[in-house]
């Protein structure tokens, strides 16, 4: 896919923002376990970076998905994964369904402020006993007069400690698990919502993740996204953007880490020569870069098909799977060549390894991606092809 001058300008805007407004503070935010999300998002909103693909009527730039992807790719220049994760939740996880299927009123009240960076969004799907098995969630939203009354617990909810609203998946009837769910926008100040203290994570330290309790939370029925009962399907559609975002936002980070490792191995000497002179090391780094380029090609091919209106379930799942694999392989291999320095907490390979580990779990584990890919390939007897 050929990128235009406009793509390059969008990328430059994101890159400058990362260099000037994020990277100088990353170490401090990682140590603190949080970052000033409202302040950061307001700046991004002013630059148009939170609504690249969103409709212009609600403050977005109305550009096609390739612009969104180009900007997401730049996020890999951020010196940590946590802040980009929080940004991705806002742009590609909590808002795609609202932007496409929400009523104008709902989009005015919740999408427009999210695009402007005035409200922070969270996506609330996972539960303590249902992560991979989304169909098995227990949270309910029962009709009472003009309202839904919501009860349940959501687990591992990124941005939740500072979120202004949740895009929540709940059961709105007792019907079949794929037909009884709805996506509902729940404002944090609705009453009855408790956010637990933030979780102590292996990586993604600067993003805040917590368990959230919904106890008789009342929201108007007009906060429903799309039609009642279509929530599972809408969330599966929303997951496609989340998964492409997840794959794209990592690749510049792999490029940078491989490059930093090459530079380190040129400087560091062992047995009378620079480490990089070992064919085993430079071949391995060349091979990893080849893998990264293959992933980049897959992501951009998926993007082209997505813009063309095709179902990219298979390609997005493959990209997410491969990104998960490389998020482990690239930092682990690089860390090895940094030796003892690589084992230090603040080493770039070490941070990549901790942050990148989430890629094989969050937004659908590697095995869940393999399951989807198998279905699209008609591998299993008796299981219908999904696309």
Ligand X SMILES: Cc1cc2nc3c(=O)[nH]c(=O)nc-3n(C[C@H](O)[C@H](O)[C@H](O)COP(=O)(O)OP(=O)(O)OC[C@H]3O[C@@H](n4cnc5c(N)ncnc54)[C@H](O)[C@@H]3O)c2cc1C
Interacting residues with ligand X between 325 and 364 (CB under 6 A): 358, 361-364
Q: Is 149 in the site for ligand X (CB under 6 A)?
A: no
Q: Which is nearer to ligand X, 17 or 166 (CB)?
A: 166
Residue 321 binds to ligand X (criterion: CB under 6 A): no
Site string for ligand X, 156-175 (x = CB under 6 A): xxx-----------------
Residue 137 interacting with ligand X (CB under 6 A): no
Instruction: Mark 366-385 with x for binding to ligand X (rule: CB under 6 A) and - for no binding.
Output: -xx--x--------------
Residue 39's CB: how many other CB atoms inside 10 A?
11
Q: How far is the CB of 280 from ligand X (least distance, A)?
A: 31
Considering the rule CB under 6 A, would residue 84 count as an interface residue with ligand X?
no
CB 69 within 8 A of CB 59: no
Binding residue (CB under 6 A) for ligand X from 365, 374, 376, 386: 365
The residue with its CB nearest to ligand X is 131
Which is nearer to ligand X, 68 or 356 (by Cβ)? 356
- Please pick, among 74, 228, 241, 242, the residue that the annotation labels catalytic: 242
Among 14, 204, 234, 285, binds ligand X (CB under 6 A): 204
CB of 207 to ligand X, least distance (A): 7
- Smallest gap from residue 73 Cβ to ligand X (A): 21
Quick one: 66 or 360, whose CB is closer to ligand X? Answer: 360
Hey, which residues between 207 and 246 contact ligand X (CB under 6 A)? 209
Report residue 163 CA to chain centroid gap.
16
CB of 12 or CB of 383, closer to ligand X: 383
User: By the 8 A CB rule, do 337 and 275 touch?
Assistant: yes
214 with 196: CB under 8 angstroms? no
Annotated catalytic residue 242: yes
- Residue among 222, 203, 219 at smallest CA distance from 328: 203
Q: Which positions from 92 to 131 touch ligand X by CB under 6 A, shown as an x/- string?
A: -------------------------------xxxx----x
* Contacting range for ligand X; rule: CB under 6 A; set: 151-159, 221-229, 259-267, 327-335: 151-159
Quick one: 385 exposed, middle or buried, by C-beta within 10 A (0-12, 13-18, 19+)?
A: exposed
**Shortest CB 183 distance to ligand X, Å:** 12
**What are the phi and psi torsion angles at 202 (to 5°)?**
-65, -45
Residue 86 exposure: Cα atoms within 13 Å on the Cβ side = 32
Nearer to ligand X, 142 or 198 (CB): 198
d(CA 205, CA 200): 8
Q: Which is nearer to ligand X, 183 or 257 (CB)?
A: 183
- Is 228 or 355 the residue whose CB approaches ligand X more closely? 355
State the nearest-atom distance from the C-beta of 76 to ligand X, in Å.
Answer: 18
Residues forming the site for ligand X (CB under 6 A): 89, 123-126, 131-133, 156-158, 201, 204, 209, 358, 361-365, 367-368, 371
User: Hey, which residues are catalytic here?
Assistant: 242
């Amino acid at each position: 896919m050929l990128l235009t001058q406009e793509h390059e300008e969008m990328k430059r805007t994101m890159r400058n923002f990362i260099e000037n407004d994020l990277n100088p503070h990353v170490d401090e935010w990682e140590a603190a376990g949080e970052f000033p999300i409202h302040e950061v998002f307001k700046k991004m909103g002013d630059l148009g970076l939170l609504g690249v693909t969103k409709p212009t009527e609600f403050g977005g730039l109305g550009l096609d998905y390739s612009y969104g992807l180009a900007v997401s790719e730049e996020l890999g220049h951020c010196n940590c994964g946590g802040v980009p994760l929080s940004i991705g939740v806002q742009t590609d996880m909590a808002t795609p369904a609202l932007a496409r299927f929400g009523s104008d009123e709902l989009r005015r009240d919740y999408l427009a402020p999210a695009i402007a960076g005035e409200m922070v969004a969270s996506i609330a799907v996972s539960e303590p006993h249902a992560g991979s098995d989304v169909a098995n969630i227990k949270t309910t939203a029962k009709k009472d007069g003009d309202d839904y009354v919501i009860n349940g617990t959501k687990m591992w909810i990124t941005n939740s400690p500072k979120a202004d609203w949740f895009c929540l998946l709940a059961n709105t009837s007792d019907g079949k698990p794929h037909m009884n769910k709805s996506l509902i926008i729940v404002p944090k100040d609705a009453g009855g919502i408790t956010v637990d203290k933030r979780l102590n994570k292996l990586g993604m330290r600067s993003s805040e993740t917590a368990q959230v309790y919904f106890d008789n939370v009342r929201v108007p029925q007009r906060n429903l996204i799309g039609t009642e009962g279509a929530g599972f399907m809408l969330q599966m559609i929303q997951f496609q953007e989340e998964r492409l975002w997840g794959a794209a936002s990592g690749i510049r980070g792999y490029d940078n880490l491989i490059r930093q490792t090459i530079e380190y191995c040129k400087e560091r000497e062992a047995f009378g020569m620079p480490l990089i002179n070992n064919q085993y090391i430079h071949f391995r780094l060349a091979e990893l870069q080849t893998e990264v380029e293959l992933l980049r090609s897959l992501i951009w091919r998926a993007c082209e098909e997505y813009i063309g209106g095709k179902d990219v379930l298979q390609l997005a799942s493959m990209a997410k799977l491969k990104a998960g694999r490389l998020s482990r392989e690239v930092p682990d291999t690089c860390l090895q060549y940094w030796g003892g320095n690589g084992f230090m907490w603040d080493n770039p390979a070490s941070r990549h390894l901790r942050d990148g580990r989430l890629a094989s779990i969050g937004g659908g584990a590697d095995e869940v991606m393999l399951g989807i890919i198998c279905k699209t390939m008609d591998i299993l007897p008796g299981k219908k092809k999904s696309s």
